[in-house]
Amino acid sequence: MVNDVRQLRAKRGLSQGQLALELGVSRQTINSIENDRYTPTLNLAITIARFFDKPVEEVFHANGTG
Amino acid sequence: MPTERDRPPQTRWNHPGLTLCLGAIMGAAALIGGEPVVGLALFAWFGLCAGAVAVATARSEWFRETFEADERWSVADMRAGRLAAVAMLTVLVAGLVYELARGHTLDPVATLALAAGGLTYTGAQVILSRRL
């Protein structure tokens, strides 16, 4: 699973820590998601997508589906 | 939709507090068993561990965030727990087989641990397979 969280966060001008605070998770979790080391639960994925006003499938992509 | 924010807050004293309580229980058990020195040593050791965790949590951002309870931590915790369970079961089963091969009877605590583990696993599978 790959994602556009890093780009979306950068567009908003947020640090990883600020985004983590907004989503109620740790900064390390945001870092792991951005580096594709951790696939978030559906709950967190939806929360992230809603935060960026995007559908989940525009933020998270199964490998090979761009 | 419930979020991670709905969980009860976890302070930096949770882990040291739990460690200290465990040390107190083990120390008290040793004391009741007539081994005050062992009891004190156990309590001191657990206290030392609790102190180390408290200091590390206060001084290290990495350590603090590593133990910050969120869903990634929960996943890591669950996988670590699974590995620990496999390690414990391996040692228990190997130990029991070894003891049987030596002609000894089974250790009651180890047998109880295996039975509790097996029953818990079976019960959890039944309940979780219905809920998930």
Q: Measure CA of the first residue to CA of the last residue in chain B; give whole Å.
A: 18
Extract the tokens encoding B47. Answer: 């206290």
Question: Which residues of A have a CB under 8 Å from any CB of B?
Answer: 23-29, 32, 38, 40-41, 43-44, 46-47
A25 → closest Cβ in B2, B66, B71? B71
Is the pTM here over 0.90, yes or no?
Answer: no
Helix (H, G, I), strand (E, B) or coil at A51: helix
ipTM comes to 0.74
CA angle A51–A55–A61, rounded 5-degree value: 105
Q: What is the pLDDT along chain A (66 residues), one digit of tens a residue?
A: 899 999 999 999 999 999 999 999 988 899 999 999 999 999 999 999 999 999 999 999 987 655
Which residues does chain A have within 8 Å of residue B2's beta carbon, measured at their own beta carbons?
43
Distance separating alpha carbons of residues B122 and A46, to the nearest angstrom? 33
Report the residue from B65, B71, B73 with minimal CB separation from A41.
Answer: B71
What pLDDT is recorded for position B57? 77
CB B30 within 8 A of CB B38: yes
Pairing assessment for the beta strands A2-3 and A60-61 based on DSSP bridges: antiparallel
Q: What is the pLDDT of residue B15?
A: 80
Domain boundaries, chain B: 1-68, 69-132
Q: Which amino acid is at A65?
A: T
Dihedral pair phi/psi, residue B84, rounded to 5°: -65, -40
Give the Cα-Cα-Cα angle A18, A21, A26 (nearest 5 degrees): 105
Instruction: Say what the pLDDT of residue A64 is.
Output: 60
Q: Is B70 exposed, middle or buried (0-12, 13-18, 19+ CB in 10 A)?
A: buried
